[in-house]
Amino acid sequence: NAGVTQTPKFQVLKTGQSMTLQCAQDMNHNSMYWYRQDPGMGLRLIYYSASEGTTDKGEVPNGYNVSRLNKREFSLRLESAAPSQTSVYFCASSEAGHNQPQHFGDGTRLSIL
């Protein structure tokens, strides 16, 4: 019962370095999401993919890119990391349809020095 798997769990980067966060789900869900969680701000949507082959910007997309590699995998890339991107990143997936609950991974804790 893996559900949504995120790798890595922790990462420290230097300013300007690049990195890709990986996410895979085994629930055959159509939709996948990337969020960042910061203290006192809840979760903010970075990008989402309603279905394989499509991606859309969320609330805070600047500084990030995404790739929906196939139905299972949705990656998030930081091309040139900045200290403001220090956060906990969560990947989620859901069945198709706007009313579906989302299933979350355990997060990637990313620090940018």
Partner 1 sequence: GEDVEQSLFLSVREGDSSVINCTYTDSSSTYLYWYKQEPGAGLQLLTYIFSNMDMKQDQRLTVLLNKKDKHLSLRIADTQTGDSAIYFCAVITTSGTYKYIFGTGTRLKVLA
Q: Applying CB under 8 A, which part among 14-22, 43-51, 60-68, 71-79 lies near partner 1?
A: 43-51
Q: Terminal CA-to-CA distance of the chain, rounded, Å?
A: 35
Residue type present at position 18: S
Check binding of 23 to partner 1 (CB under 8 A). Answer: no
Q: Distance of CA 80 to CAs 13, 43, 59, 65, 77, Å?
A: 10, 22, 19, 11, 9
Residues 6+ apart with CB under 8 A from 73: 22, 23, 24
Smaller CB distance to partner 1: residue 14 or 39?
39
- Which residue among 43, 71, 73, 95 contacts partner 1 (CB under 8 A)? 43
Check binding of 95 to partner 1 (CB under 8 A). Answer: no
Check binding of 71 to partner 1 (CB under 8 A). Answer: no
**What residues line the site for partner 1 (CB under 8 A)?**
4, 33, 35, 40-45, 90, 92, 98-99, 101-107
